[in-house]
A and B are shown apart, each in its own frame.
Chain A
Amino acid sequence: MQEFKSLKDLPEQDYFTGGSSTCAGCGPSMGLKLALKVLGPDTIIVNASGCMTLLPLYPNTPLKVSWIHNAIENASSTAAGVRHGLDMLGNGDMNVVVYAGDGATYDIGLASLSAAAAKNERIIYICYNNQSFGNTGFQWSTATPYGSETKTTPRGKDNPTGTTVVNKDMVKIMGAHRVYAATASLAYPVDFLNKLNRAKERDGFSYIELLGSCTAGWNYDPRMTVRISKLAVQCGMWPLYEIENGMLTLNKDFNELKPIDEFLKLQGRYRALPQDDVAKLQSLINEHWAELKEYNGKRYV
């Protein structure tokens, strides 16, 4: 299997071209553009209702691969049908790739995702995690981190914290399904693309979660997408790691994490977050990071 060393190793051919109706600086769009370079033309994208559903708008599409959108909670079961339909009709060499947001993944679509993973269907599932229900205008999901403001967890006199729920550990949940589960970041594209490349070669289910920064919801300057993605990794907010056969590998290690402030201060969603809550968020991050360090190279789930 080919291992990418740098972005120069990537094919020039793009399967995500002009004409998309997503926002400038949209992390999930950039993620799909990169992913399709690895996945290639024999790919079917199965989309869950969300921001990326707006990529094609009849009669136009920016994609040069097939694309099917069913509803929000059923991307995994749709993909299972696509997979077995293709296999039965002799098109088994096509990639079936789910591209779904965190609301569709962590919340409403969890049952169908869990079943497809448990059955180890030959599907690559990419969750673009913008930490909210993004397409409806940035509402809380169970992927929203503690302290983030959203439209349904607004800061106010009685609730200065915004989101008071600590987000799910979805990668761990998926790892417990005995499938390949990994995180990825736009700021580390070679790591992302090699993970996809391995998922493509696997004879079973793969789950890759890409931090899909959202300029509108996170409220930042669209030029900062890659910088914010990088800071998320460097602050330990979005560690890069993978779980295979229950074993954990930390893909990007740091001796010391940058303080979370550096990530928070660039984004409107954390504006006016009380210092106590910043401290709580920092301790949650430290705890998760310590856990990942402790289990690096060992059985995690």
Chain B
Amino acid sequence: MKQTLVTGNEAAAWGARLVQPNYIPTFPITPQTECIETLAQWISDGEMSGTYFDRMESEHSVMSAAVGAAAVGARVFTATSSQGLLLMHEVLYIASGMRLPIVMATISRGLSSPVTLWSDHNDFLDQRDSGWLMLHAENNQEVLDMVLQAYRIAEDPRVLLPIMVNMDGYVLSFTDEPITIPTAGMVKEFLPEYTPKHTIAKDRPITVGPPVLDEYTLFRAQNHVAARNALEVMEEVMVDFDRIFGRRYHLVDEFMLEDAELVLVTQGSMSTTAKAAIMEMREEEDIKVGLLRLRVIRPWPASAIAAALKNAKAVAVIDRNVAPGKGGIMLPEIVETLYHLDRRPLVSSFIVGLGGNSQTEHKVKEITRKLIVDLETGRPRVEWNDMNNNDNEGL
């Protein structure tokens, strides 16, 4: 094991390097580019001799090639961002429908138009119903650790589904953080060799991706069951990960929730800022606030989320995304999860950090104070942050 400073892009590349996939199809897009450049250099230098690095002509072709290689039993890694992830969208459904355990790092960036290079989560969350499993990292260490875990989860015979590991563009992709790089031996102990059962090979002709008639429902149901199975597999994998690497992860990340009456629900790197603000608020203002970070978006860890929020009086769902005409994407997911509880907290919605607008501790404190007001008035709010005139009327 070695401690080193790497960017989020490099952390994802390190994950791939340690796994040594057979095939990496690529296409450059900001802010993902550094990840595939790093891999290209390592492969050129002979550091990843068992891997074929392929330069494709589009992200659509990247995912198509990933499907082709995975269908013949290859271990596949790739990475993308933003418009590129959207261009892959069609083939994402095909990859999950074929039950191919492809691992992809996604580096979040807001979507056109207007053009933004900066981070938000709409690109990632637009893939919510594609049948892929979806993990979201908070920091660079977690990016690397999630890539390793992703292969174990995806390749488990109870699951066999593709999986994406998301990090926030710029905030993580281009920011150096000290991380621990595990040894090859540890990774070997954690991740067994991949021996796919259902694959195209010599002397064993099979048909992949044919049309069906009435059986379509059956296949979709099997996909759903496999995704649900992943919750149990993830818990096992995280225990095993802790045993070998000494870092314990959970389905959801709970921060100072034991006595929290106010809970902020976040995703990705803004959680770190929020955690710092929470510590200050607790110390300086004696506000009982905590944080629930969504680590696993699909499958949806409903029980873990409900358990974590069962004592909350008011919840602020902080969405770094928006479904126009509806609101924050994670808001209804959280509300639906709380609906069945005996005692439901008040839930307010905050849309923040679109197109890379930075999430400061000051903003987190503001949101918390507004949540206190909501709890007092008993009326939840929907608020868009970062508006120039701060006029939320009609939203």
Contact = CB atoms under 8 A, between A and B. Distances in A.
Contact of B72 (A65, A70, A85, A119): A85
A279 interface: no
Interface in B193-225: 200-213, 215
Interface in A110-124: 111-112, 114-115, 119
A63 B207 CA distance: 9
Contact of A82 (B58, B69, B205): B69
Interface of B is mostly: mixed
Interface stretch (B8-16, B49-57, B152-160, B306-314): B49-57
Given A56-B210, A63-B205, A81-B64, A70 B23 contact: no
Contacts of A64: 205
Contacts of A93: 202
B215 to A, nearest CB: 6
B71 interface: yes
A210 B46 CA distance: 42
Nearest to A67: B207
A298 interface: no
Contact of B200 (A54, A59, A68, A77): A68
Contacts of B74: 81, 84-85, 88-89
Q: How large is the interface on A (under 10, 10 to 19, 20 to 34, 35 or more residues)?
A: 35 or more
A65 B204 CA distance: 8
Interface in A71-129: 71, 73-74, 76-89, 91, 93-94, 111-112, 114-115, 119
B61 A58 contact: no
A228 B62 CA distance: 40
B202 A42 contact: yes
A253 B95 CA distance: 47
A10 interface: no
Contact of B61 (A53, A54, A87, A111): A111
Interface residues of B, number: 44
A85 B210 contact: no
A69 B97 CA distance: 12
Contact of B205 (A66, A83, A86, A89): A66
B234 interface: no
Contacts of B211: 53-54, 56-58
A76 B203 CA distance: 23
Given A57-B211, A70-B209, 8 more contacts: A56-B210, A66-B205, A70-B94, A71-B94, A80-B65, A85-B22, A85-B74, A89-B72
Interface of B: 22-23, 25, 50-52, 54-58, 60-62, 64-74, 76, 90-91, 94, 200-213, 215
20 contacts: A70-B64, A71-B94, A77-B64, A77-B68, A80-B54, A82-B71, A82-B200, A84-B23, A84-B54, A84-B74, A85-B68, A85-B70, A85-B73, A88-B52, A89-B22, A89-B72, A94-B202, A111-B57, A112-B60, A115-B56
